[in-house]
Structure 1
Amino acid sequence: MTLEGNILTPEGWFKGELMLRRGRIVGISGAPVNPDDNDAPRIIPGFIDLHVHGGGGADLMEGGQSLAVLARTHARFGTTSLLGTSMTASREALIKAFQDAGRVMASPPEQAADILGMHLEGPFISPDMLGAQPPHARPGTLEAFDELNALAPIRVITIAPEIEGHMALIEVLAGRGVRVQLGHTAATHDQCVKALCLGARGFTHLYNAMSGLHHRAPGVVGAALAHADYAEMIGDLIHVEPGGVLAARRAIPHLYVVTDATSAAGMPDGEYRLGEHRVFKRGDSVRLADGGLAGSALTMDVALRNLIHLGLTLAEASQRLSLWPARYLGLSDRGVLAPAHRADIVMLDSNLEVQQVWVAGRKVIE
């Protein structure tokens, strides 16, 4: 198969042909180009979303085929790889959700994003920084982690480092290669620095549900801006307004975008589920009954256009939705368009609207 258009490569933009075979990119030909000089399609790497709770009306915590539904939904908007993300819940509810997620991963759905594993967002978080998480926060143990990990592989975990016993847990999990993120936490700057020294790698939805930046109490936000190499940020421009996005972009080399999407993503306004909560989609936001933000209705194509609106080039925006999340997880086979890489591809029109999507060379949408 051959695709034609403006192709974003590690060496820059080329106008020419991208050749695919057996789910891989086998060649790129063409000449350097400024994609703004023509209306040919923009061909960029598929998006990688490391924090997604739901989509298409399905919430991961409902179990059943919910993970398959959300993976199909987000693929329509250009996401070619993702992590299913859990909510803070009782042990029994988490076991059920992870069992069902494991079954979906064992028989991957067609026309869907590649499911890389799980992001355990809670319950090992601070009860004082729940955000929209249900009130089931509790100290974490290696035994509790292993119980869930045996059901569906956990690639990323969100943890509050100030909770007793969590520093030791961070060190053990980081030693296993799990990406430990600091989030839903009231930690101090110094506690975060200690956690980073023990192997923590990232920050969960930067700025949200964490101690903020004050010049005499830098908090989690200050630690991230001063020390982080990687951090995720919700790209809807609602959870973090433009000035906050630009400040983090300047400070954190590999800042990347996630959706934190709920079951409302890809759906009309109305009432949906987020774990135990009822949430309400109104326009671009999803909120609890009291008006507090509760995840998002974001899809990655909208996040891409939001970054462009802030002044980023399409090439840089693509990095923050594809390359940096891939590198954060240690994935060397995706995130860029280059020979021998997976054929995870998004084709955009000149208005940056998704036209076609391929996951490992298989077309998801026409």
Structure 2
Amino acid sequence: MSLHSNTSNGLVCFTNCLLPQEDGSLLLRDLWIDEQRGVILDAQRTFFLRKERPDRTIDLSGNILSPGFLDIQINGAYGFDFSVYDGDDAKYQSGLKNVSANIVETGVTSLVPTIITQEKSMYPKLLSLLRPYSPSGGANLLGWHAEGPFLQLAKRGAHAPPFILSAPDKWHSFEAVYGEHNLAVREDWEMDVASGKSCGIGVRMITAAPEIDGVMDVIEELTKRGVIVSIGHSIASSDIATRAVQSGARLITHLFNAMPQLHHRDPSIIGLLGASPHISPAIPPTVPPTPVSGLPRSAKVPPPPSAKALTQLILSESTAPKIAASDEALSVGATPPMTPTHKAPVRMGSRSEMHLDKGHVAELEFERPFYGLIVDGIHSHPNSVRLAYTAHQDGCVLITDAMPMLDPHLRDGVHDWRDGKRLVKEGVRLYIEGTDTLAGSVVTMDTCVRNFARFTGCSLGEAIKCATYNPAKCLNIENCKGTLRPGADADFVVLDRQGRVVSTWVRGIMVWTSLLNV
């Protein structure tokens, strides 16, 4: 990379570079930015209106100039845990800045800090500390992702059972936990956070299990208020998961993990990736249907159990065979059998006739959700990653689900965690000491991108899209993040042609580089 500069007019031209497009292709083009405003420019329009050429040109030597990576599910990094607060605001904010300053070496320019299930009195304070913030010289902190506490106990993973809740009072239950001001209408909330130094984007996400009492009833209202609802830590049937998406749920939290595994008669949450646009479920039951085996044909099938009874049934399956290596999907009891006897009927959509033209795709009536994937080669088998991507390419969002041990410079070994527990790091594998239970990830986003290209066989440009444009679109911020559109923020990562990070730029300023001669 070579760099030439004179007295700057604020215009910078990146040349001799490959630019990822929103369709996953890579094009050899120049890119202009205004480094004083930190935004991408329309080169032709700028030239003719301002009648100026960039005073600074940066030759990227044929490397890739990608939008900066977005990580929308990350629990911590560089020794800091977003879920741990000891009452010291300054200490917590210092930890946030440390993560922001260091994570740019992995190509991440924006992240959504994730907090796992807490004692409910902690949420208002933690969420107020996680309002949008853009520290100088580091990645953008876009807001918060509350993973819990309205989760399915049977799929709790690392979430503490005493703090997991239902929502009997529906909306009032959610306000009582997160705080009324944190669930305000988007415009009101963003006006509130604008008083501090922020990136101008307010992201709020909640992972919840739609089968839990009261959760389904609040999804539509959360969506209206600008909160992204994600389905996770759940045993929802296909019908319930579909209804959640129809109500506004937009994402699936760490696909394959903490949910029932695929079954051909009821593919559950995973089946949303292959949802047919013209077959809709009838009004689903309030709890997932469960099988009754060993009954004669003449036997009367009992009604579905209550949600509480179903959870107890799953937790009591202690005779299920043990699995050598477990993770969030397998760490508590066995995955419930998903062969329903109380099958809700399906009905055809409004499509009036079949088409005969090869390659014709009917107009969609059901928009499939985005889905997060941890592509470390451990949480999901490479074949599973490829299967998901093949089913729904535009919905794929790469996440790290990283723990505080995420640090490319951290040596393998035993590390303190929380509640007296310790975690063992072995490469990108992280598990609870004395067990074989996975405890989140330490994989970096740039590694996820390279792994994803290898696992699926897609191009590097298509893999980049899953860490940039797709997550930005999921969060409804694709006009300013995850893209190279004119007017978008000048947040970039320069990658070599093997997908390794060369340098990272935030708002047009280089904040990290692997090169010593720049």
**Does the alignment reach a TM-score above 0.5?**
yes
CA apart distance, 1:362: 1.8
> Which secondary structure state, in structure 2, belongs to the residue aligned with residue 264 of structure 1?
coil
Gaps of 5+ in 2: 1-11, 45-59, 86-91, 168-172, 184-188, 194-201, 277-367, 514-518
Match in the other structure for 2:68: 46
Match in the other structure for 2:446: 301
Within the candidate set 231, 236, 240, 1:191 is matched to 240
Residues 356 and 154 (structure 1 numbering): CA distance in 2 closer, same or farther, change over 3 Å?
Answer: closer
Mapped to 2, the partners of 1:273 and 1:5 lie a distance apart of 46
Contact 1:212 1:221 in 2 (8 A): yes
Contact 1:134 1:275 in 2 (8 A): no
Q: Which moved more, 1:1-10 or 1:287-296?
A: 1-10
Tell me the amino acid that sits aligned with residue 389 of structure 2. Answer: R
Match in the other structure for 2:165: 138
CA apart distance, 1:272: 4.1
1:57 maps to 2:198: no
Write out aligned runs for 1:1-366 (5 A).
Answer: 1-10=12-21, 12-21=25-34, 22-27=37-42, 40-63=62-85, 64=92, 65-102=94-131, 105=132, 108-135=134-161, 136-140=163-167, 141-143=173-175, 144-147=177-180, 149=182, 155-226=204-275, 228-252=368-392, 253-266=394-407, 267-272=410-415, 276=419, 278-289=422-433, 290-310=435-455, 311-331=457-477, 332-366=479-513
- TM-score normalised by structure 2 residue count: 0.64
> Which secondary structure state, in structure 2, belongs to the residue aligned with residue 206 of structure 1?
coil
Mapped to 2, the partners of 1:88 and 1:17 lie a distance apart of 46
Mapped to 1, the partners of 2:415 and 2:16 lie a distance apart of 39
CA apart distance, 1:187: 1.4
> Which secondary structure state, in structure 2, belongs to the residue aligned with residue 333 of structure 1?
coil
> Which secondary structure state, in structure 1, belongs to the residue aligned with residue 19 of structure 2?
strand
> Which secondary structure state, in structure 2, belongs to the residue aligned with residue 294 of structure 1?
coil
Mapped to 2, the partners of 1:307 and 1:94 lie a distance apart of 34
CA apart distance, 1:254: 1.6
Q: Which moved more, 1:248-257 or 1:93-102?
A: 93-102
Q: Which moved more, 1:282-291 or 1:197-206?
A: 282-291
The structure in which a higher percent of residues are strand is: 1
Contact 2:105 2:512 in 1 (8 A): yes
Report which of the two structures shows the higher radius of gyration computed on alpha carbons: 2
Contact 1:28 1:338 in 2 (8 A): no
Contact 1:118 1:154 in 2 (8 A): yes
1:224-261 Cα deviation digits (max 9, x unpaired): 44263311111212111111111111222321111101
CA RMSD of aligned residues (A): 2.3
Mapped to 2, the partners of 1:10 and 1:180 lie a distance apart of 27
1:298-335 Cα deviation digits (max 9, x unpaired): 11110111012121101111111100111111111121
Residues 263 and 5 (structure 1 numbering): CA distance in 2 closer, same or farther, change over 3 Å?
Answer: farther
Mapped to 2, the partners of 1:154 and 1:19 lie a distance apart of 28
Mapped to 1, the partners of 2:124 and 2:418 lie a distance apart of 13
Mapped to 1, the partners of 2:113 and 2:141 lie a distance apart of 7
Contact 1:181 1:203 in 2 (8 A): yes
Mapped to 1, the partners of 2:217 and 2:418 lie a distance apart of 28
Contact 2:395 2:470 in 1 (8 A): yes
Contact 1:88 1:121 in 2 (8 A): yes
Residues 209 and 357 (structure 1 numbering): CA distance in 2 closer, same or farther, change over 3 Å?
Answer: same
Gaps of 5+ in 1: 30-37
Tell me the amino acid that sits aligned with residue 84 of structure 2. Answer: E
Mapped to 2, the partners of 1:5 and 1:48 lie a distance apart of 25
CA apart distance, 1:6: 2.2
> Which secondary structure state, in structure 1, belongs to the residue aligned with residue 223 of structure 2?
helix
CA apart distance, 1:178: 1.2
Tell me the amino acid that sits aligned with residue 17 of structure 1. Answer: D
1:100-128 Cα deviation digits (max 9, x unpaired): 334xx45x322221111101101111111
Contact 2:249 2:369 in 1 (8 A): no
Mapped to 2, the partners of 1:236 and 1:360 lie a distance apart of 29
1:165-223 Cα deviation digits (max 9, x unpaired): 11112122122121111100111111111111211111000000011111223222223
Tell me the amino acid that sits aligned with residue 142 of structure 1. Answer: F
Tell me the amino acid that sits aligned with residue 278 of structure 1. Answer: R
> Which secondary structure state, in structure 1, belongs to the residue aligned with residue 504 of structure 2?
strand
Tell me the amino acid that sits aligned with residue 13 of structure 2. Answer: T
> Which secondary structure state, in structure 2, belongs to the residue aligned with residue 341 of structure 1?
coil
Identity %: 33
Q: Which moved more, 1:186-195 or 1:141-150?
A: 141-150
